[in-house]
Amino acid sequence: MTLRLIPTHPFSGQRPGTSGLRKKVAVFQQPHYLENFVQAVFDVQPKLAGGTLVVGGDGRYYNPTAIQTILRMAAANGVKRLLVGQHGILSTPAVSCLIRKHSAAGGLVLSASHNPGGPDGDFGIKFNTDNGGPAPEKVTEAVYVRTKTIEAYRILDGIDVDLGIIGGSILGTMAVEVIDPVADYAELMESLFDFEAISQLMQDGTFRMCFDAMHAVTGPYARAILENRLGAPRGTVINGIPKPDFGGAHPDPNLAHAQELVSILNGHDAPAFGAASDGDGDRNMILGQRFFVTPSDSLALIAAHAHSVPGYRNGLAGIARSMPTSGAADRVAAQLGIPCFETPTGWKFFGNLMDAGKVTLCGEESFGTGSSHVREKDGLWAVLFWLNILATQRNQSVANIVAQHWQQFGRNVYSRHDYEGVDSNAAQDLMANLHRALQTLPGQQYGERRILCADDFSYTDPVDGSTSSGGGIRLIFDDSSRIVYRLSGTGTEGATLRLYLESYEPDPTRHTADAQFLLAPLIQISETIADVRRYTGRDQPDVIT
């Protein structure tokens, strides 16, 4: 095997976004494009040389090609030991688990999460550091800066590693271990949850559930854990085989894209519990019979019930949520007497808080929930948490459990409206216009509401003092309702405007009303203030979650 130094030239636009570098597959297929980014990671993370690296992805198109390239580059850059999932499969939380368990120096996750896959779809790569979490901004910025001056990359010549067979081999001087993608992760789940109680629930003859893996990475994990280990009947997991194009679907577990699951849970003879996960297994959606649990409520509920789950019985250090996520968790934190942190969008901001022992649970409105068991959000973990809650509250439906929660804490009515593929200039103009209005908005009255404060969210990390700005325009009203405007950092086409709407409803007689109905006045205000229709050229959002 020969080590080669291949001359290259920088590509523009290799700055990682909210969650790694995401581009169309065709962009990644350009000669040297992936290699430049990977070499930049090795260059700014010298401790990868001589260390362990974890590599895996969600099974999407181009994964196998990219993995073989990365293996050869890792060997050429002095990595000592490389762990890769069988068939190249590893969910994002499983990568995080493996990095931590095997004291790896880092990991490379090959995924564009919930973005569609296939030759015309998206591809992505994300570097995780030795704590198991997404690289913080100082690292992603260093990688980006390096990509702008890169002149060559290192790679070994040689034949492909057979990723189909579990076992070890040597590539140059690097030990490659093809591992079972599920085993370590399943063991971690078993250490956190009451598997005995959950398997009794699964097998008691009255409880039924459906898990939609959306043709993506969680299929093997859900089958191994829910069906094989916990005894749920075969067929509980649907769409359980990862496909390179996710069956042509959009593997995003929400009401718009997980339509098969939604219709099962809304249908006759619906199961009691439904859940779905996204392309790379870090997102989750929780459903009851004809009932949708918002991710913000799910986080609050998980926090309120944590004492009944073995791994969390000793209490929570604190909770963190991204700024656009509703304040439902804050109410639980206040009652528990623990801190609640508000961070910018993206999981990478939770890592420092978890490493410092300041928080145990974290969540985002974008169907992300997790805890300090790993440093990524974790779809199946959230599903198992809910199953543990249902197993300890045997006669309660999902809807009842949520209703009781709202009765105790009030309801943070919540919705997100997305305008996708909007003209980038128009979206920038909309935000710039809002920026200009920030000074004059406070004090203005809209119907029964008055704006108390308006700002562009910025954050100072309480652990290392690093700052992050431009987190989204936030309007907070005197009745504690909020409107947030933000542009997506994960899209690959045009701009996506996200509009986040939240109001607080203490009155139990109004708790069962539809969120869009309850939020209608706020939606109208958001339009009046930002002129969303005019800038986007749309009458209504593309996706409502």
Q: Which of residues 12-41 bind ligand G1P (CB under 6 A)?
A: 18-19
Structure letter (DSSP) for residue 233: P
Instruction: Please give the residue whose beta carbon sits closest to Zn ion in the complex.
Output: 113
- Return the number of the residue (171 or 532) whose C-beta is nearest ligand G1P: 532
For Cα atoms 300, 319, 368, give the angle at the middle one, nearest 5 degrees: 65
d(CA 324, CA 253) in angstroms, rounded, equals 18
d(CA 145, CA 115) in angstroms, rounded, equals 26
CB of 276 to Zn ion, least distance (A): 12
118 binds ligand G1P (CB under 6 A): no
Which does residue 526 bind out of Zn ion, ligand G1P, none, counting CB within 5 to 8 angstroms by kind? Answer: none
Q: Provide the 10 A C-beta neighbour count for residue 520.
A: 12
Tokens of 89: 């499969």
- Return the number of the residue (18 or 199) whose C-beta is nearest ligand G1P: 18
φ and ψ of 203, to 5 deg: -110, 15
CB of 81 to Zn ion, least distance (A): 26
CB of 535 to ligand G1P, least distance (A): 18
CB of 399 to ligand G1P, least distance (A): 26
φ and ψ of 44, to 5 deg: -95, -5
Q: DSSP letters of 206-218?
A: S--EEEE-TTSTH
Query: In 393-497, which ranges are continuous DSSP H helix?
Result: 398-409, 424-437
Which does residue 280 bind out of ligand G1P, Zn ion, none, counting CB within 5 to 8 angstroms by kind? Answer: Zn ion
Instruction: Please give the residue whose beta carbon sits closest to ligand G1P in the complex.
Output: 488
Which does residue 19 bind out of Zn ion, ligand G1P, none, counting CB within 5 to 8 angstroms by kind? Answer: ligand G1P
d(CA 405, CA 402) in angstroms, rounded, equals 5
Please identify which residue in 364, 376, 502, 505 interacts with ligand G1P, judged by CB under 6 A: 364
Buried b (16+ CB within 10 A) or exposed e, 160-190: ebebeeeeeeebbebebebbebbebbbebbb
343 binds ligand G1P (CB under 6 A): no
342 binds ligand G1P (CB under 6 A): no
CB of 489 to ligand G1P, least distance (A): 3
d(CA 393, CA 386) in angstroms, rounded, equals 10
What strand order describes the sheet that includes 209-212? Answer: 237-238, 209-212, 273-277, 284-288, 291-293
Q: Are 16 and 143 in contact (CB under 8 A)?
A: yes
Tokens of 415: 């919705």
CB of 15 to ligand G1P, least distance (A): 13
- Name the catalytic one among 91, 111, 113, 526: 113
Q: Is 456 helix (H, G, I), strand (E, B) or coil?
A: strand
Number of residues that bind Zn ion (CB under 5 A): 5
371 binds ligand G1P (CB under 6 A): no
- Return the number of the residue (107 or 368) whose C-beta is nearest ligand G1P: 368
Which does residue 154 bind out of ligand G1P, Zn ion, none, counting CB within 5 to 8 angstroms by kind? Answer: none
Which does residue 247 bind out of Zn ion, ligand G1P, none, counting CB within 5 to 8 angstroms by kind? Answer: none
498 binds ligand G1P (CB under 6 A): yes
Say whether 113 is catalytic. yes
Which does residue 345 bind out of ligand G1P, Zn ion, none, counting CB within 5 to 8 angstroms by kind? Answer: ligand G1P
- Binding segment toward ligand G1P, per CB under 6 A, in 88-96, 171-179, 227-235, 339-347: 339-347
CB of 490 to ligand G1P, least distance (A): 3
Q: What mask of x and - would describe binding to ligand G1P in positions 270 to 309, judged by CB under 6 A?
A: ----------------------------------------
Specify whether the backbone of 170 is left (phi greater than 0), alpha (psi in -120 to 50) or beta. Answer: beta
Please identify which residue in 366, 492, 503, 526 interacts with ligand G1P, judged by CB under 6 A: 366
Which sign does the torsion angle of CA 33, 38, 40, 41 carry? Answer: positive
Please identify which residue in 246, 347, 406, 457 interacts with ligand G1P, judged by CB under 6 A: 347
113 binds Zn ion (CB under 5 A): yes
113 binds ligand G1P (CB under 6 A): yes
d(CA 392, CA 388) in angstroms, rounded, equals 6
- In SS3 terms, 138-175 reads as HHHHHHHHHHCCCCEEEEECCCCCCCCCCEEEEECCEE
d(CA 300, CA 428) in angstroms, rounded, equals 33
Please identify which residue in 346, 370, 472, 541 interacts with ligand G1P, judged by CB under 6 A: 346
E strand or H helix that includes residue 303: helix 295-305
Q: Are 90 and 184 in contact (CB under 8 A)?
A: no
Please write down the long-range contacts of 220-226, taking CB distance under 8 Å and 24 or more positions apart. Answer: 220/89, 220/181, 220/182, 221/91, 221/94, 221/181, 221/182, 221/185, 221/186, 221/281, 221/380, 222/277, 222/380, 222/383, 224/182, 224/186, 225/182, 225/186, 225/189, 225/380, 225/384, 226/202, 226/383
Q: What mask of x and - would describe binding to Zn ion in positions 272 to 291, judged by CB under 5 A?
A: ------x-x-xx--------
CB of 322 to Zn ion, least distance (A): 14
322 binds ligand G1P (CB under 6 A): yes
CB of 139 to ligand G1P, least distance (A): 17
254 binds Zn ion (CB under 5 A): no
Interface ranges with Zn ion (CB under 5 A): 113, 278, 280, 282-283
Interface ranges with ligand G1P (CB under 6 A): 18-19, 113, 322, 345-347, 364, 366, 368, 488-490, 498
- Which residues are identified as catalytic? 113
